[in-house]
Structure 1
């Protein structure tokens, strides 16, 4: 085994859809082509958005596609102590602070938080979020496929929320602490998550940890140009047409599918994908609209 550690980290807000399958396959192929570990983490940080049974459904789907993970599945809902301990440390050192600003107030600031509460030294956490004072904003990063990607300067310099006013932990904080704790060396995910990359890299700098590598896969769109996502009510992938859906997802990732491969088993197709995976094959665009004969995914 190499030192490579990758991961797939879906949120249980619905069953696995075609876009999520592309992300799972891309991260799996990238890890296994380097004889690395591939971890699965369920990012159940936001109970109001979760769908009962979705986590179990996602794991069953991964198994159906012969995407076996290494080690135990990690659930973010069981890691709150880790997140709170880091927040408490930053509150003690003054790197984080309570903020009482509302969305309406931030909109009046021009749409980006101005640091209004940074010097107020608010002591009451009730009805407050927790923000991290950003000392090393990241305005660009290197993507393994797309090269240098610039990020909005105003967004990069903003002290962002690491714990919401409703008590829920922020995605950016949790994902970075988990990736560090699990030894992740490279993050492979959909291009819809390009923008948060700068904030996550800022967290690595704040924690004095080496920054992981990033690879963003093309984002699957529907025929109307909308992202295939649970938020946009993307349909679950067809559990009865596994092979066809697998081959379609691999085509979207740039594979030239050999005709004989269509007669193979799911396991054989996946292992063929591991052997033939290359970043050079990935589409240059960060968005792709799958073209299927029946018009569905």
Structure 2
């Protein structure tokens, strides 16, 4: 599997109505930003926030950070205006909540193109409902412009009438369906948020679980979550060293015509070499930050 061109270990939501937060985002050690027009913005502040976020995204100054805009959901009074403003601003991506079908993706794509969005502006689709998860593969394959799936775990828990518990047992089926869809379609997928910004122990446990499940990164709601998230989703020194040894051993065996390769007592196959190369590519991309 080809790794993403840039790491998306940490993806931080920033409230679009807060000018100070948008400015602070320029200095935070996050891989990507979601400038939010949805949940963090009150209805009577939507128009002002839209103008502020579009100006910030168009103005640049965020360095290596991917800059995305989360619009309001399809069917809301603000959705169409949000898409037009985002298209004119030309961010790296438009994050669309409540995507339940491939049709929704195609409608968003058509609206962005009609509004003149540049080709580089991708779509990130949020999966937040049982309907979305049962149709996740179709959503992921709906458009080449769609590059990232984002888990909306708070809304998913609400829809399931589930409790937020350590280990996320009520959500694991949904998370797994989304992961399968992302990998089948060759898309990046981001884990959902952790709500208690003061509980870094719980946050680290959930972030590690997300990495082990196969997520590429995690969405965040507070800057204090950045350091552990970046650390956990980056390859460790031990992983890099072992990956280098796997590739070296495999290449040496291949040059000598040997069909069996072992590293640390374990047999190495092509799939292990592919994973080792993915780890090294990710480590190189992270080092470039």
What TM-score, normalized to structure 2? Answer: 0.30
What TM-score, normalized to structure 1? Answer: 0.30
Structure (1/2) with the larger helix percentage: 2
Give the structure, 1 or 2, with the largest relative contact order (CA under 8 Å, sep 6 or more). 1
